[in-house]
Chain A
Amino acid sequence: MNMDNELTVPVAGRCAACGSTHLPSKPRCPECWGVDIQDVAVESVGTLETYVIVHRGPAEFEVPYVLGWAAFDEGVRVLAPVHTADLEALACGVPVRLGTRARDAGEPLPVLEVL
């Protein structure tokens, strides 16, 4: 993946009828089937709920790498790669910010950055 691309703020979809929020956004609200889905930027500082340090992965991945689940005030929960300068400082509950990074091919990749 190209690590040089700038991180951009991810956009979730919030149902105008029932308020449930999904990332990635879904074309029809899974809760109430509403189709008026509004963009919500996920800008809040979230909480890393859990993480894993992967030591054996697919051949094309450099190990170790970190994945984590994080929850955000906008109402979404995200599983994404975690970027941190210090593996030792990783802990459940640390603050994280969510970004997406454009790639040469495919959908933008979500990234959790430890603050």
Chain B
Amino acid sequence: VTVPVYVTGVGITPFGRQPHVDIATLARGAIVDAVQGAGVSHRSVGAALFSSAYETAGIGQRVLKDLGMTGIRISNIENACAGGADAFLQAVQAVEHGETDVALAVGCDMPTRLSSSGILPLLPGDPALDFGLTAPALYGLRARRYLDQWGVPVSQLAAVSVKNRTHGAANPIASFRTAVTLEEVLSSPMIADPLTRLQCCPVSDGAAAVIVTSNPAAGALCVVRGGAVLSGTLQDQAGAEDTVTSRSAEKAFGEAGIEPGDLSFCEVHDAFTIGEILAIEGLGICAPGQAGVYVAEGRATLGGGGVVVNPSGGLLSRGHPPGGTGVAQIVEAALQLSGRAGDRQVEDARFGACHTRGGGSFDLDANACAVVVLERS
């Protein structure tokens, strides 16, 4: 990031099943809060970047026309579960490049309306459809390999749910606001062995919005230090490794000029418990095989003395509208870095990272992964 770009306004709706509201109304709620929070006129927004995994046909235009935000750049982005972060980074770039002084990033989805059993529908003809590769199964494969490779107990996975549900209890917009015990996590119904139901995030409707600007006259919540969006690589050759998180993190941290140990906290893609474990290692916070212990011993918990992981409660508590999660993470990071996170505040938070990954084209490890680094201002 060459010109400093600041986050000056954020908005987020409650996350959960919302059958009585349409997606445009939901998104507008988050947008109005972000614009008003930033202390700018809606007329000053010169570019709007929209992320949705399901609503790509003009969703941004449909939402913004009734707010009088027309005639400006509106771009709609689909990049699986990393789409929200991609929209955010493109909004940042629009400001950096001088295209506009003020840009808006929005992420929204209403997955509870889908009849599909999968969080991200595979393309017709994808071979994985033919043998039942569900999202829990995809992560279950990673979980089994991790447990076997490092010889660690499944309770280390379950500890992720316990931590994140504890954090989520203090997040007013989270789908789940109750704590769970290790025993409850392990004894909940088996979905994709070794992943039980309480190790899988809820599918939730939700929207989040962020205003970024180069001119934080009315005050900033945080400043953008780096970001990267990368695609996965072919996994069909012997020795292929899932490196999309580590490659994205190296690029984003390099741009920000920080080391993983500089982070006060991170928001990572815990769609399933193993996702958080692998993200902690991919971000370089722990060496391979060490993240399970790190979480189980409480180091990643608020007040635990380490890098706090998912202070918002993560996807496991907040829920997961695929196109919205990336922006929801930025909202959380901005609240943390400006000292506005209430009972889940990370003490003396200076650097925060956000990580999302997802999408399954057959024989790629992921369609996309995004890492964003933010600093208090």
Give per-residue flags for A1-38: 1 if the beta carbon is below 8 A from chain B beta carbons, else 0: 10000000000000000001111000000100000000
Please measure, in the bound complex, the distance between the C-alpha atom of A21 and the C-alpha atom of B149, giving whole angstroms.
26
Please measure, in the bound complex, the distance between the C-alpha atom of A49 and the C-alpha atom of B240, giving whole angstroms.
12
Give per-residue flags for A35-61: 1 if the beta carbon is below 8 A from chain B beta carbons, else 0: 000000000000001111111111101
Q: Give every chain B residue within 8 A of A79 (Cβ-Cβ).
A: 128, 133, 141, 235, 362-363
From known contacts A58-B117, A67-B137, infer whether A52 and B132 are also in contact, taking CB-CB under 8 Å.
no
B359 within 8 A of A: no
Closest to A20 in B: B237
Give per-residue flags for A58-75: 1 if the beta carbon is below 8 A from chain B beta carbons, else 0: 110100110111011001
CB of B132 within 8 A of CB of A55, answer: no
Main secondary structure of the interface of B (DSSP, over half): mixed
A49, A52, A67 — most chain B CB neighbours (10 Å):
A52
From known contacts A50-B141, A52-B144, A52-B192, infer whether A58 and B131 are also in contact, taking CB-CB under 8 Å.
no
CB of A53 within 8 A of CB of B192, answer: yes
The 25 listed contacts between A and B (C-beta, < 8 Å) are A20-B237, A30-B234, A49-B145, A50-B142, A50-B148, A54-B137, A54-B140, A54-B191, A54-B192, A55-B191, A55-B192, A56-B136, A56-B191, A58-B118, A61-B132, A64-B193, A67-B133, A67-B137, A71-B238, A75-B238, A77-B238, A79-B133, A80-B131, A92-B144, A92-B145
Q: Give every chain B residue within 8 A of A55 (Cβ-Cβ).
A: 189-193
B134 within 8 A of A: yes
Please measure, in the bound complex, the distance between the C-alpha atom of A53 and the C-alpha atom of B117, giving whole angstroms.
17
Q: Give every chain A residue within 8 A of B149 (Cβ-Cβ).
A: 92
Binding site for A on B (CB under 8 A): 117-118, 127-128, 130-134, 136-137, 140-145, 148-149, 189-193, 234-240, 362-363
Please measure, in the bound complex, the distance between the C-alpha atom of A65 and the C-alpha atom of B193, giving whole angstroms.
10
Q: A50-B141, A56-B136 are in contact. List 19 more A-B contacts (CB 8 A).
A: A1-B130, A22-B236, A49-B145, A50-B142, A52-B144, A55-B189, A55-B193, A56-B190, A57-B137, A58-B134, A64-B193, A65-B132, A68-B141, A69-B145, A75-B238, A77-B237, A92-B149, A93-B148, A110-B127
CB of A56 within 8 A of CB of B148, answer: no
CB of A67 within 8 A of CB of B132, answer: yes
Interface hits, A60-115 → B, CB 8 Å: 61, 64-65, 67-69, 71-72, 75-81, 91-93, 106-107, 109-110
CB of B131 within 8 A of CB of A77, answer: no
From known contacts A51-B144, A54-B140, A58-B117, infer whether A109 and B237 are also in contact, taking CB-CB under 8 Å.
no
Q: Across the A-B interface, how many residue pairs have beta carbons closer than 8 Å?
A: 103
Please measure, in the bound complex, the distance between the C-alpha atom of A91 and the C-alpha atom of B140, giving whole angstroms.
14
From known contacts A22-B236, A55-B190, infer whether A109 and B131 are also in contact, taking CB-CB under 8 Å.
yes
Q: Give every chain A residue within 8 A of B127 (Cβ-Cβ).
A: 107, 110
**B235 partner, pick from A1, A77, A109, beta carbons under 8 A:** A77
**B130 partner, pick from A72, A76, A109, beta carbons under 8 A:** A109
Please measure, in the bound complex, the distance between the C-alpha atom of A60 and the C-alpha atom of B362, giving whole angstroms.
20
Please measure, in the bound complex, the distance between the C-alpha atom of A103 and the C-alpha atom of B312, giving whole angstroms.
47
Please measure, in the bound complex, the distance between the C-alpha atom of A49 and the C-alpha atom of B136, giving whole angstroms.
18
CB of B141 within 8 A of CB of A77, answer: no
Q: Give every chain B residue within 8 A of A69 (Cβ-Cβ).
A: 141, 145
